[in-house]
Structure 1
Amino acid sequence: MADASDADVAATADTAEVAELTALIDEVSIPYEKFTLDNGLDVIVHTDRKAPLVGVAVWYNVGSKDEPAGKSGFAHLFEHLMFNGSENAPGEYFQYLQEIGATDTNGTTNFDRTNYFQTVPTGGLERALWLESDRMGYLLGAVTQAKLDNQRGVVQNEKRQGDNQPGGLIFYELVETLFPAPHPYDHTPIGSMADLDSASMEDVRNWFRDKYGPNNATLVLAGDVSAAEGRRLAEKYFGAIERGPVNNPAEASIPELAENVRTVMRDQVATTSITKYWTVPGITDRELTALTVGAQILGGLSSSRLDNALVRNEQLAVGVSGGNYAFQRVGILTVGAFAKPGVETETVEARLGQLIDQFIAEGPTEDEVRRAATSTVAQTIRGLEQVGGFGGKAVTLASGEVLAGDPDFYATQLETLATLTPAEVQAAMQRWMTRPAMTLILEPGERDSSYEEAASVEGDAADAGEASDEVTVTEVRPAPPLGAGSSLDFPDVEHATLANGMKVHYAMRDAVPATYVTLSFNAGSAADPLDKRGLETLAMTLFDEGTTTRTSQQLAEERERLGANISLGGGFDRSSFTLSALSANLVPSLELLSDIVRNPAFAPSELERVRTQQITSIEQEMKTPAAIAQRMLAPLVYGERNPYGGAANGDGASVGSITRADVTAFKDRWIRPDNGEIFVVSDRPLAEIVGALNVVFGDWDAPAVAKGVKDFSATPQAPDQPRIVLYNRPNSPQSYILGGQITPVDARDETYVDFLNANNALGGNFLARINMNLREDKGWSYGSYGYNQTRENAVAYLVQAPVQADRTGDSLAELIRETGDFLTTRGVTDDELRRIVAAEIGELPGQFETSPDILTAMQNNALYGRPDNYYELLADRYRTQTRTSLDAAARAAIDPDRFVWVIVGDGEKVEPQLEQLGLDVEVIDLVQTEN
């Protein structure tokens, strides 16, 4: 145990000053070496030795803006094909990456670029580069008609999945209005069903030949690799690939509307939204940064002017927005508000317009600009702890090179933020936000615009017969051997005790100058009384809506000045307050956190405002397929009277009944020092952390009232036979299937990891049987999975599958058959066991790359009573697993005959399909359940 001395405490208290923005920016640096191969491939290498990991990113300078007329969606469709195997690696790309132990693996397409990325253990780098180079130079022999047909179906289901969401058709309307044809941005990257239907093998081959040459690509390696080694490997694997045609990405002007456009759409939404859009410059224009800052100040920050006026003071809205879609050639500036239920649209729209005009006329203050800039810089610093993934160092360097012609473009943007003046922001707003705008009103009601369906579903597609799946190898390229594996080095966890008895669990990570602190209390939504479900959610929200010394506006402004994030929540078992602070501003950030935790005001006016927001959010959930299914399945799996048997945020009636006394009682019974512990990951030493924590929490004593106790006496009971509950959601292009059952598994048991790995064969990852069946074999779903819903006092097993509406019955039959076969005649195979164990061991270092990863792991260890080095022990546990042990774990946990299946879809289309399954089907109209 460690404790801080009085000198430590005094020294810490004296340093409570806010760091200058320029000082924060000086801490951001990604040194690199860049070189170009003879075939035109640009290679960038950044060395980061913090862990035995390398982020690999390959970016192609082509996106949907480069698609010719009639070929929309081709860039994205081809991205999918790139994961279906190359000539020397003809299987699923994820299969080979699992063998390496890769994490953060994905590919994305937008208007401007297509990218592929993965983070791999150092020993797997050469294999990863072999894979990336094989699909860059030797792909076409593996692109078969069967694969094209399958991925066309997958992409069309991805489109259906987006279209099926409330407001899912808005972006089509937005793009068509702001960028009318033949503008390069006149269609969305997902493309049209008709164009996807018409994609031929020759189209696909030509796309690859024209766009995917090495001279149109950038390779970035960031992590445990030197520049010399990166050059050697790039030459070895990519050097022989021939140049392709020169691709000149489409130029695009910034169009201007002839006049203001006002469009009204209707959809399954809880309240009306009013959003204004302007076309603005692309990412390399300094004005774009000024506009982005202006949009943050206006509607994006927690302290934004719109939030303060429309939500807090005038209470005309339950939420606001402000931001910038930043593309290479153009941007879309957006500002909007979600009307408070019962408030006239015209009232909110008029006031929104007044506030925008006022902001343009007055301009921002120096403090507002600095707060917005500091928030952005802090977010950048936190993101750069990661070498790969969606926002780490590799992506930062690649995006700068491909979209701005400069890997250091991130530094240019930071410098712009540091020097941006209020006058610049105002001038940019005056230039671009006084031009004609598009105003889009989305009202609650029956969807009045139709989604586009594929010819295959409409029955018009020609029968293509048996599609060939034969692979042609043009050049044999043997896979390099895997290097030595890297074992997980989980940071040492140290423990201390504050002056008031609170335990502190601490780990050091010094990759970035940031500190993460979580105060975790043994509460969560499981602490809610059954007739007051949603109390914990409402109370936790209110902690951040004003203290006895600061208003909610002042809290938001102070966080932004410090570059700090404070998130409140936790889940079913714990209620937590998590601070993400720049270490330079640690002490004042902790002082702010302490004020929020210890001194909430729970003002009656704030209570009513937050109550309205929570009820509106609940109503929106009851219009969103996945949320409907999750809310409806919980009481069927756990039982209505079990603490896990209801939605964490309650329902309209329960939230409406909560009083201020209820909220205060929740705080006194649950959010108290004798019911909590503190978890810290920081680049600062433990003594300094304990000293700072003692300053703000050391004198915090528990109240006199009794500590709360949860009631789990209502034991979950699985039904005696499977059943289906169909929630009728008309006009849904997809059905959302969610099935589940309670299991006898306990997360503290030694066999828990056997159950997890057994599920990795059935449903736990991309290569698992459920997804490979419905997505990769049938093409009926964009993604289908089985997973454990693990809580402190129960573990449920769930299966989810969003599927095209006309295949709902067939898909459910496949899920039932696949699960049944796995548990009886087709258990884990030798190949699955080898792949799963290798992947789980290899992925361990990548799973704990960042401070938030470590912070979460420490909390899970405490929740389930595990040792501090639990994750370091897993590799040996995985090595002892056998087919027999995994099969036994799965068969002891899962019983498909006791599943409850919830389906959210168009009842008229779906119910007849379910009759063939021979199960009881209960049909519920969603209108009956919304209140």
Structure 2
Amino acid sequence: MKSAFASLTALAVVLSAPVHAQQVAAPKVEAVPVADLVKRVDIPYEEFRLDNGLRVIVHTDRKAPIVGVAVWYNVGSKHEPKGKTGFAHLFEHLMFNGSENSPGEFFEPLKEVGATDYNGTTNSDRTNYFQTVPRAALDRALFLESDRMGYLLGAVTQAKLDEQRGVVQNEKRQGDNQPYGLLRYKVSEGLFPEGHPYRHSTIGSMADLDAASLEDVKNWFRQYYGPNNAVLVLAGDIDAATAKPLVEKYFGKIARGPTISDPAITVPTLPAPKVEVMKDRVAVTRIYRMWAVPGMRDADSTVLDASIGVLGGLASSRLDNILVKDEKLAVSVGAYNQSLAQAGLVLISADVRPGVDAAKVGERLDAIIADYLENGPTAEELERYKTRTASSRIRGLESVGGFGGKAVTLASGAIYMDDPGYYKKQLAQLAAVTPEQARTVTAKWLSRPVYALTIEPGAREAYAEAASAAKVPVKEAPEVVKGTRGPLPGVAEVKDIDFPAITRARLSNGIELVYAQRDAVPVTQAVITFDAGTASDVPDALGTEGMTLSLLEEGTKSRNSIQIAEAQERLGAGINVGSSADRAYISMFTPSPNLAGALELTADIARNPSFPANELERVRGQMLATIAQVKANPAGLAQMAMPPLLYGKESPYSKTAAIGGDPEAVKTLKREDLVGYYNAWIRPEKAKIFVVSDRPMAEVKAAFEAKFGDWKGEGAPGSKVFAAKPQQAAPKILLIDRPDSPQSLIYAGQMTPVDPFGDPIPLATATEVLGGDFLSRINMNLREDKSWSYGARGGVNRYEHAVPFLIQAPVQADKTGPAIAEIQRELADYLGDKGITKAEFDRSVISAIRKMAGQYETAGAVLGAMQSNDFMRRPDDYQDGLAKKYRALTQAQVDAAARAALDPKRLVWVVVGDAAKVRDQLDSLGLPVEVVKPESVGVAAGGN
């Protein structure tokens, strides 16, 4: 490969106005200016501080009786000294393992109160914890958060440290085991010099994790987890006057910690361009261009967000238009500015189209970047990026908590910028970015020496992180300090939810419209579902369905693919096309002021696809690359291998094995094949429209009537035939040999005799206890008890004609056989004389009742429930009666449902792992073992 960017600007070519081969005059869509959208983003708040330094921020949102609770600590991996990498993340795990006054798993008392969106994360700059709870349970949430802030260390034992150390190391292995999984280390090590606080990964090194002593981690807590180094945000059904005495009650007696200063951080510049090539078990060569840039505390960061977004972060980006759509050198591209607090990283990437010379793509990528540095973005490109960003922020702020809601927005501003309202200033800064400013700032930072990395297919070299020192878990009686704060606060009555009223109507052509009104944000979300899905794919040409759906957005009779992407961005809308096993869908999200324009575009995509020949060839190449990438991924291999074992070759559901399609069929599909599938399946007779909007039903119906009311199908509709019941294979283990895998992915399945449309509650409760959430028996066994896995889960899927039970567990390679034995034992115990306990039953039932207010907080959640109710033939007011159904449930009904549905002796197993390491373990389990290579995992035509 040529030396990259000896002088980037010397490679400039005239590319400032890329023109697509099919450019035509597209219909204009009317959209509100971005400034109007920015004005709609507002989170009013009040704040106060306790005497111990805890900063408290309160936002009132009365739309639902819930409160988002977020606690952010100013500690991340950048604070870790040499030899202590991974400590911040390790302690995040330890803080879920109980405190002095709540010694059990942190998730248990949260689940009991009906919490939703509860978790914690760590990055380079901070550690955060969050949960959304019913207002009646706020006291308990504050007790729990304050207890692990002020009364944790007495509950941290050597046994807990060893347990969570093992879990974190399996989290690390799980990430490393993915294609391109070692990139995260190369990026930071390639851009930041030795000793730089941002050089090492957040997850840390195996050696440092192994070396961590109990006293080390306790000292880490004492240093960083004081109230004066934290921010508490409460957002939802609460106000500052009510919050202040509550926060004082629970947090006020916690002593201050040391005063913390952030490390001194500069933005490094490489002394010269750095070029590296690494091999990995990947299907597609990926090229990267990377630079260290300023972080969010520098004004240039927001400018780079916009400029790099235009270059490669939009569907209509420069890179996408040129490399993917016009010149077809890449199957996908990407570019983004990852802003940390004190520095950032610009990453630009291109996945090389199979058969194309990677060096050629690299040269072309360099030339496009060089031209962009010289000429910069246009005002129109920037406007589209700004609109999309503002629209996305509006949508995200419907939630009070979770990963991206109001509490997180306020907390991040406080921690990173010492300003909870920074989000608003940042949007204003973004709206003010000019083309000249973007060009100047981008050239300033990206004309410096580049780190050019290429990841190409090949055997991954051995690396030190693949193994860790063997440790014997400590089992001595822990010396736990007993708390003196008293019992956990009780929970007041949580009222049953009032699910939004559902209204049904029909358009002139008979399409049913199912509508609910939610007015928390000025947004309309809609899904048009079609009775099609993967089960409708063409048996001897699998991939026809996927190719057809993929091309809907790639050209209509009046717009080409670039114009479709640009129109969405101008509107701040998102239109997506996809499918499940039983349904195809076209989904739409838009700010409601742009509903007319978004619907016009959605209707054009749905009704007028042109399946242009040049786009067909491009999408064909992308689809073939996708299939290859799926087969390079452990989860993809398992999901391809399971359906023929579970359903038999005659069931239409066996087609779900063809993720992306049969490559041989995809290679030969013609335009008329796609037109034929479209006419048979994407048609008004098979359609149903679901809408949640702040706009009234009459307005919404009129808008859809105008765009879809006169739609008529062509030719005869398609039909799916489920004449034969699924024929599951005899129990066995299919071992897919993937050498050098530090983990094995265990995937088990069993077909059940369950009626898909029967009462789901008893069996769902049983499978939740077995594998459905963090506290499930299988997860607690493999993760919390044995530390063999980062997480295991299991449950049933309800299709129209089948209800399979599935378990997935990635485990460290040397515990593959024992982990399968443990899963078998857990199932046998449950179905034997160790059925659901009263504690498990009460926890699950009470949680199910109490969590509904948070569960259906957003319009998107309501929209999903509406579709689920319709698909499963339930009444529209099903959620209103759920609490009553749960209160009538009995333990005997739960156990009976599980015993009627499940049989551990019937499970078929797929294991993706290194056969040299795991074959002997599997042979000891008493099941036939068949070993195959990844390349032999293919697809077979399913039934009609």
Same fold (TM over 0.5): yes
Moved more, 418-427 or 872-881: 872-881
Match of residue 4 from structure 2 = none
Shift of 1:474: 4.8
Match of residue 697 from structure 2 = 686
- Give, in whole Å, the separation in 2 of the partners of 1:570 and 1:845: 29
- Give, in whole Å, the separation in 2 of the partners of 1:853 and 1:146: 40
User: Amino acid of the residue matched to residue 791 of structure 1?
Assistant: Y
Q: After the TM superposition, which residues 640-651 of structure 1 pair with which residues of structure 2 at under 5 Å, given as runs?
A: 640-646=649-655, 647=657, 648-651=659-662
User: Amino acid of the residue matched to residue 896 of structure 2?
Assistant: A
User: Amino acid of the residue matched to residue 203 of structure 1?
Assistant: D
Deviations 1:790-822 (A, max 9, x none): 212111000110000011111011011111111
- Scaled by the length of structure 2, what TM-score is found? 0.95
Give the alignment's Cα RMSD to 1 decimal. Answer: 1.4
Match of residue 11 from structure 1 = none
- Give, in whole Å, the separation in 2 of the partners of 1:259 and 1:930: 46
SS at match of 1:917: coil
Pick aligned residue for 2:796 from 788, 791, 795? 788
Give the paired residue count.
Answer: 911
- Give, in whole Å, the separation in 1 of the partners of 2:412 and 2:245: 23
Match of residue 872 from structure 1 = 880
- Give, in whole Å, the separation in 1 of the partners of 2:495 and 2:775: 23
Residue 606 of structure 2 corresponds to residue 593 of structure 1: no
Match of residue 856 from structure 1 = 864
Pick aligned residue for 2:359 from 339, 346, 357? 346
Residue 612 of structure 2 corresponds to residue 565 of structure 1: no
- Give, in whole Å, the separation in 1 of the partners of 2:610 and 2:257: 65
**Cα gap change, 1:501/1:465 in structure 2, threshold over 3 Å: closer, same or farther?**
closer
Match of residue 41 from structure 1 = 54
Q: After the TM superposition, which residues 558-637 of structure 1 pair with which residues of structure 2 at under 5 Å, given as runs?
A: 558-637=567-646
Match of residue 22 from structure 2 = none
Shift of 1:649: 2.3
- Give, in whole Å, the separation in 1 of the partners of 2:872 and 2:878: 11
Pick aligned residue for 2:489 from 480, 495, 502? 480
- Give, in whole Å, the separation in 2 of the partners of 1:19 and 1:739: 50
Q: After the TM superposition, which residues 539-550 of structure 1 pair with which residues of structure 2 at under 5 Å, given as runs?
A: 539-550=548-559
Residue 408 of structure 2 corresponds to residue 398 of structure 1: no
8 Å contact kept, 2:640–2:938: no
Match of residue 831 from structure 1 = 839
Match of residue 546 from structure 2 = 537
SS at match of 2:775: coil
Match of residue 504 from structure 2 = 495
- Give, in whole Å, the separation in 1 of the partners of 2:524 and 2:843: 36
Moved more, 61-70 or 692-701: 692-701
Match of residue 732 from structure 2 = 723
Residue 118 of structure 2 corresponds to residue 105 of structure 1: yes
Match of residue 10 from structure 1 = none
Residue 301 of structure 2 corresponds to residue 292 of structure 1: no
Moved more, 173-182 or 399-408: 173-182
- Give, in whole Å, the separation in 2 of the partners of 1:480 and 1:234: 14
Shift of 1:300: 1.1
Match of residue 30 from structure 1 = 43
Match of residue 5 from structure 2 = none
Moved more, 525-534 or 422-431: 525-534
Moved more, 653-662 or 407-416: 653-662
User: Amino acid of the residue matched to residue 700 of structure 1?
Assistant: W
8 Å contact kept, 1:525–1:535: no
Residue 716 of structure 2 corresponds to residue 712 of structure 1: no
Residue 69 of structure 2 corresponds to residue 56 of structure 1: yes
- Give, in whole Å, the separation in 2 of the partners of 1:823 and 1:930: 34
Deviations 1:628-680 (A, max 9, x none): 11110111001122111133422212322322111101111111111111110
Residue 282 of structure 2 corresponds to residue 269 of structure 1: yes
Match of residue 4 from structure 1 = none
8 Å contact kept, 1:123–1:486: no
Q: After the TM superposition, which residues 504-519 of structure 1 pair with which residues of structure 2 at under 5 Å, given as runs?
A: 504-519=513-528
- Give, in whole Å, the separation in 2 of the partners of 1:176 and 1:140: 34
Shift of 1:206: 0.4
Match of residue 680 from structure 2 = 669
Deviations 1:187-235 (A, max 9, x none): 0000000000011110111011110000000000000011111111111
Shift of 1:449: 4.7
Match of residue 208 from structure 2 = 195
User: Amino acid of the residue matched to residue 113 of structure 2?
Assistant: I
SS at match of 2:500: coil
8 Å contact kept, 1:719–1:899: no
SS at match of 2:797: strand
Q: After the TM superposition, which residues 184-333 of structure 1 pair with which residues of structure 2 at under 5 Å, given as runs?
A: 184-333=197-346
Match of residue 12 from structure 1 = none
8 Å contact kept, 2:163–2:473: no
Match of residue 24 from structure 2 = none
User: Amino acid of the residue matched to residue 646 of structure 2?
Assistant: V
- Give, in whole Å, the separation in 1 of the partners of 2:213 and 2:467: 15
Deviations 1:536-569 (A, max 9, x none): 1111110000111001000000100110000111
Match of residue 748 from structure 1 = 757
- Give, in whole Å, the separation in 2 of the partners of 1:676 and 1:236: 55
Match of residue 917 from structure 2 = 909
**Cα gap change, 1:465/1:835 in structure 2, threshold over 3 Å: closer, same or farther?**
closer
- Give, in whole Å, the separation in 1 of the partners of 2:70 and 2:711: 48
8 Å contact kept, 1:755–1:889: yes
- Give, in whole Å, the separation in 1 of the partners of 2:29 and 2:77: 49
User: Amino acid of the residue matched to residue 78 of structure 1?
Assistant: F
Shift of 1:464: 6.5
- Give, in whole Å, the separation in 2 of the partners of 1:789 and 1:334: 38
8 Å contact kept, 2:67–2:238: yes
Shift of 1:451: 5.1
Shift of 1:98: 0.6
Residue 149 of structure 2 corresponds to residue 149 of structure 1: no
8 Å contact kept, 1:619–1:930: no
Moved more, 157-166 or 226-235: 226-235
| Structure 1 unaligned blocks of 5 or more | 1-14
- Give, in whole Å, the separation in 1 of the partners of 2:348 and 2:741: 29
- Give, in whole Å, the separation in 1 of the partners of 2:464 and 2:567: 44
User: Amino acid of the residue matched to residue 649 of structure 1?
Assistant: G
Match of residue 821 from structure 1 = 829
- Give, in whole Å, the separation in 1 of the partners of 2:66 and 2:531: 35
8 Å contact kept, 2:631–2:935: no
Deviations 1:548-592 (A, max 9, x none): 100100000010011000011131111111110010111011001
User: Amino acid of the residue matched to residue 875 of structure 1?
Assistant: A
| Structure 2 unaligned blocks of 5 or more | 1-27, 940-944
Match of residue 6 from structure 1 = none
SS at match of 1:130: helix
8 Å contact kept, 2:29–2:567: no
User: Amino acid of the residue matched to residue 123 of structure 2?
Assistant: N
Match of residue 115 from structure 1 = 128
Match of residue 768 from structure 1 = 776
Deviations 1:723-779 (A, max 9, x none): 1110000000000000001111123112x2110001111111100100000000000
Moved more, 644-653 or 18-27: 644-653
- Give, in whole Å, the separation in 2 of the partners of 1:668 and 1:546: 16
8 Å contact kept, 1:163–1:451: no
**Cα gap change, 1:123/1:464 in structure 2, threshold over 3 Å: closer, same or farther?**
closer
Residue 444 of structure 2 corresponds to residue 431 of structure 1: yes
- Scaled by the length of structure 1, what TM-score is found? 0.97
8 Å contact kept, 1:322–1:334: yes
